[in-house]
Amino acid sequence: MDKTKVETTPFQVSLFTTCLTDSFFPDAAIATVRLLRHLGCEVDLPENQICCGQPQFNNGYHDQARKMARNFIDAFAESLCVVSPSASCTAMIRDYYESLFTDDPHYLPLAQELVSKSYEITEFITKILRIDLQTYKPQARGKVTYHYSCHNRGIDIPPQVTIDLINLIDGVEYIPLDKMDQCCGFGGTFAVKMPEISQALVADKAKCILATGADTVVVNDGGCMLNIAGYCHRHNIPVRFVHIAQLLAESLGLLKDLEGQPS
Amino acid sequence: MIPKHDFKKAVRAAINNPYLQQAMETCTVRRTDRVINSLAELKDLKQTRQTAQKIKQYTIDHLDEQLALLSDKLESLGVTVHWAKDARQAREIIIDIAHQHDCRHCVKTKSMTTEEIELTPALNEAGIETIETDLGEYILQLDNDRPSHIITPMIHKSRQEVGQLFQDKLHADYTEEPEELTAIARHHLREKFQQADLGIVGVNFAVAQTGSLVVVENEGNGRMVTARPGVLVGVMGMEKVVPSAKDLAVMLKLYIRSAVGLRLTSYTNIITGPRKSGEIDGPEHLHLVILDNNRSEILAGPYRNLLHCLRCGACLNACPVYRKISGHAYGTVYPGPIGAAITPLLESSNRLSEKLPEFCSLCGACLERCPVMIDLPGLLIQHKRDLIKKNRSSLFYKLVLSVWTWFYSSPARYRFSQKWARHLMRLIARNGWVTFLPPPGSHWTAVRDVPLPKKQLFRDLWKKTNGNP
């Protein structure tokens, strides 16, 4: 990435909400915005953003994905820094956008520029802002475990990044999840195209969650969240699912007005 | 692929088999932990992987040249080199060699390439008694079964089953103690080794510079096969060549750790030419069969990097799909991520293989574990693209994705679709959750609920609060 750019115009962040967060998990977006502002960033929301095109890309419909990617690139053309609460959507941009435009001299440099300024929230906080959250004295209670979403791999965010963030919060007990980095079985259309396998994987994930005895599960991706939380709801497994941004914002007292509202 | 393989039935059978699920857990999840730990001992792991990747890249980019070098070197050492265009030709060549030397009893090491060309049954049919000598493969052969993993072939079999099998087929007293079972097999195999006049080995690496054929194994059976019979035939896919002994060192280091989580296998057999005068063991006649079987086509196309594969099996152990369904459910010789990616190319005329790229949630665990960093998820997506180009993809999903793209290509249409999705879901929701969706969503709601989308999209909340959500 272009470091000088970020440093000379610090902390102007455009939020890439992602479609699942937009409709299913707005609380994660609220928490992300409040957290970033609390840490000194200015946050805007480019209104023409929709979806990065990952479902189309993963299913092999690259013409359709390209169409969506062009809209996406245009939507964030003016942004200095694009931050999303999802590694999966960020990985779509960082790992594949260039490959969609190798034959397009107009969009290729624009895609490359977007790649260089796109971040997932935890890496943005730890690698770009490099803020020591401990000085903000985050406080919470509870036993927390963490599911590592697969696409963090694609953009080189190791599990330890979120684990360290959880451990920063005073009063929280972190309990490791067995097979933390095994896919939950979501995989977008995979969940309905290969139902038996997907179901076996999410059942395995829920079993591991149950074994931790944790009351809160941190999941930093809308897809995994929909899958695992949906399974646990059906099977009466009483755990709360939150995005790390929610846990952090909560521990900094930024979500007090949302407490008690149905989530 | 298995003819008329029923994927759905095989997947269900695997998932509903408690023994298999437990065994897979032990053999894949814990194996992966061991692999990670053993690789972590290398202080320059990242660099070693990059070096290995470069070696493979160079070799595959200069494959014709490297194979010519290898072949010349082998001929100069007195090894006969055979080129097999496809599986049938490979079988014919090997049977010819056996007949030419009047061989009747063959012992062989474990080799996926010989599985690929279906060699063992062909030899037996040709009247050459052929025995698998790897313990796992020996058991599978006795039971007319197939390997379910490319390194640890009988994860799916319990020791009770093996005990029963040995009682039935070898007339041994029933036991389920691994040591006793091994002793029984060893006793029977020893006799076969003594009788054998033909050995067949799967070659893990062939060094072009020295003409050495490398066979790694843990049981000593490979040592027997390479030392005892007078005629030895090595079989390898043409991508198994490495330029130099120095390159071999890099490859072995990564291959063995990635395959079994060990620093070194118990036996690393390096065979350089047939037995020389004065030597007390080794084959008098040494042959190498180099197999193409569609590899030339892979070399020429977008799947070229698949030829970098060392067949270590690390991607199988890491793959969540493989962990749940085991090898047989794929219906292929090579299961797991590498199998899903390469089978449609090795068996390009078999339409069953078109289903294989869907056996992947695109989690990327295979890429993370692959010692030479083959982008298997990317290549599986490439397969889906090819099927779309050939009009062989699912029309239903084509329609779904086209509609999806249309709605998600304008903010107004997107907002409209979200609003109506919520309205429709509200009609059937209870306490904020939807418990049933029509097909194909029914696959989702078979075991999961869906939360009702929020009343307000985040983008609308943003507008309403003037950017202060």
pLDDT (tens digit per residue) in A181-199: 999 999 999 999 999 999 9
Six-digit token string for A236: 């009466």
* Residues of A (90-129) whose Cβ lies below 8 Å from B: none
A196 has a chain B CB within 8 A of its CB: yes
Q: What is the pLDDT of residue A11?
A: 84
Q: List, for residues B417-448, the tens digit of each pLDDT value.
A: 999 999 999 999 999 999 999 999 999 999 99
| Averaged pLDDT, B357-362 | 98
Question: Are the CB atoms for B315 and B337 separated by under 8 Å?
Answer: yes
pLDDT band at A263, cuts 50/70/90? Answer: very low
CA distance B253 to chain A (A): 24
Q: Say if the Cβ atoms of B393 and A62 lie within 8 Å.
A: no
What's the pTM? 0.96
Q: What is the pLDDT of residue A261?
A: 61
Q: What is the pLDDT of residue A10?
A: 60
- ipTM above 0.85? yes
| Rounded Cα gap, residues B168 and A165, in angstroms | 59
Q: What is the pLDDT of residue B222?
A: 97
Measured CA to CA in angstroms, residue A64 lies from A95, B405, B406 at distances of: 17, 7, 9
Q: Say if the Cβ atoms of B409 and A68 lie within 8 Å.
A: yes
pLDDT at A231 over 90: yes
Separation of CA B200 from chain center: 20
Q: Say if the Cβ atoms of B408 and A68 lie within 8 Å.
A: yes
Determine the residue of chain B that is closest to A263 in CA distance.
Answer: B454
pLDDT at A6 over 80: no
Measured CA to CA in angstroms, residue A197 lies from A8, A64, A119, B7, B422 at distances of: 49, 27, 31, 11, 28
Out of B365, B385, B387, name the one closest to residue A183 (CB). Answer: B365
Interface test with B, best of A100, A183, A235 (most B CBs within 10 A): A183
B469 has a chain A CB within 8 A of its CB: yes
Q: List, for residues B187-229, the tens digit of each pLDDT value.
A: 999 999 999 999 999 999 999 999 999 999 999 999 999 999 9
Share of chain A above pLDDT 70, in %: 95
- The whole-chain average pLDDT of chain B stands at 97
| Cβ-Cβ contacts under 8 Å, B12 against chain A | 196
pLDDT at A4 over 60: no
| Cβ-Cβ contacts under 8 Å, A151 against chain B | 363-364
**3-class secondary structure per residue, chain B:** CCCCCCHHHHHHHHHCCHHHHHHHHHHHHHHHHHHHHHHHCCCCHHHHHHHHHHHHHHHHHCHHHHHHHHHHHHHHHCCEEEEECCHHHHHHHHHHHHHHCCCCEEEECCCHHHHHCCHHHHHHHCCCEEEECCHHHHHHHHCCCCCCCCCCCCCCCCHHHHHHHHHHHHCCCCCCCHHHHHHHHHHHHHHHHHHCCEEEEECCEEECCCCEEEEEECCCHHHHHHHCCCEEEEEEEHHHEECCHHHHHHHHHHHHHHHHCCCCCCEEEEECCCCCCCCCCCCCEEEEEEECCCHHHHHHCCCHHHHHCCCCCHHHHHCHHHHHHCCHHHCCCCCHHHHHHHHHHHCCCCHHHHHHHHCCCCCCHHHHHCCCCCCHHHHHHHHHHHHHHCCCCCHHHHHHHHHHHHHCCCHHHHHHHHHHHHHHHHHHEECCEECCCCCCHHHHHCCCCEECCCCCCHHHHHHHCCCCC
Q: List, for residues B35-84, the tens digit of each pLDDT value.
A: 999 999 999 999 999 999 999 999 999 999 999 999 999 999 999 999 99
Separation of CA B415 from chain center: 45
A197 has a chain B CB within 8 A of its CB: yes
pLDDT band at B150, cuts 50/70/90? Answer: very high
Q: What is the pLDDT of residue A3?
A: 45
| Rounded Cα gap, residues A95 and B103, in angstroms | 55
pLDDT band at A260, cuts 50/70/90? Answer: low
